[in-house]
Amino acid sequence: MHCDCDRFIQEYSEYRDGVLTPDREAEFREHVAACPCCARYDRVLRAAGDLLAQLPSAEPHDDFMPRLQHRLYNIDEGLGDMPAHRFAGAAALVGVAAVGILALFWLPFAASVPVEMQLDPVAAYVPPPVDEEVPSLFRRGHFVEAAAGQARILESGAVVWQPRSHVHPTVILESGSWVQASASFGH
């Protein structure tokens, strides 16, 4: 049987790996011996195969086995199998999601809850205008100043308001009703 180059190339793998029938293999050997192109093809691939076998082997990192044992341990313990960096990422994601859900539920309530807070005391003092009329109880204005006088209760039950400043009126209140609301100057 004639063996041409095309057929040799097409079936080369089987020839190389020794899975051809003995007759076919003998034909191929004859062809290689007679054809320089196919002989070169065969020589190149065999030499390359030798080089492939000499390639340096990739070595695993030193922690390969401990890492594997740790993962298998997690599976045995029912902890799930997740490399540490993925676990940290997942934990962070769950944390953010939990905070988001809490905020979502809390915000509507936060708007309706009154917030109480204590502010620092503020002292205000408005001095009486110099040209102003004498203030009256029946007029608008700052006519009562607790620190500016004192109240006395008479034996009759009347209350006398005596301002310290001469510009303020004296006010006498009787029990039950107003009997006098006059302004006098001086003590």
Partner 1 sequence: MTGIRLEKTTTQPAVGSESVDLKALDDAALVAEYLGGRRRAFHELADRYHLRLLNFIYRTIGDRDRAEDLVQETFVRVYRHLHRFDPTKKFSTWIYTIASNLAKNELRNRSRNPMVLFQAIKKNWEADHRPLQWEDNSYSPDDLFRKRHLREQVEQAVAELPEHHRVVFVLREMEGKTYEEISEITGVTLGTVKSRLNRARNKFAQIIGPMLD
Contact 134, 169 (CB under 8 A): yes
d(CA 181, CA 187): 15
Site for partner 1 in 53-112 (CB under 8 A): 53-61, 64-65, 67-69, 71-72, 75, 81
Rule CB under 8 A: is residue 131 a binding residue for partner 1? no
Shortest reach from residue 7's CB to partner 1, in Å: 12
d(CA 101, CA 84): 26
Rule CB under 8 A: is residue 175 a binding residue for partner 1? no
Which run of H or of E encompasses 172?
A: strand 171-173
In the list 41, 87, 143, 161, the residue contacting partner 1 (rule: CB under 8 A) is: 41
Q: What angle do CA 110, 116, 117 make, to 5 degrees?
A: 125
Contact 158, 170 (CB under 8 A): no
Interface mask toward partner 1 for 7-26; x: CB under 8 A: --xxxxxx-xx-x-------
Question: Distance from CA of residue 131 to its chain's centroid?
Answer: 64
Tokens of 116: 């109480």
Contact segment (CB under 8 A) with partner 1 among 3-11, 31-39, 90-98, 154-162 equals 3-11
Contact segment (CB under 8 A) with partner 1 among 5-13, 132-140, 148-156, 157-165 equals 5-13
In the complex, the residues that contact partner 1 under the rule CB under 8 A are 9-14, 16-17, 19, 40-41, 43-45, 47-49, 51-61, 64-65, 67-69, 71-72, 75, 81
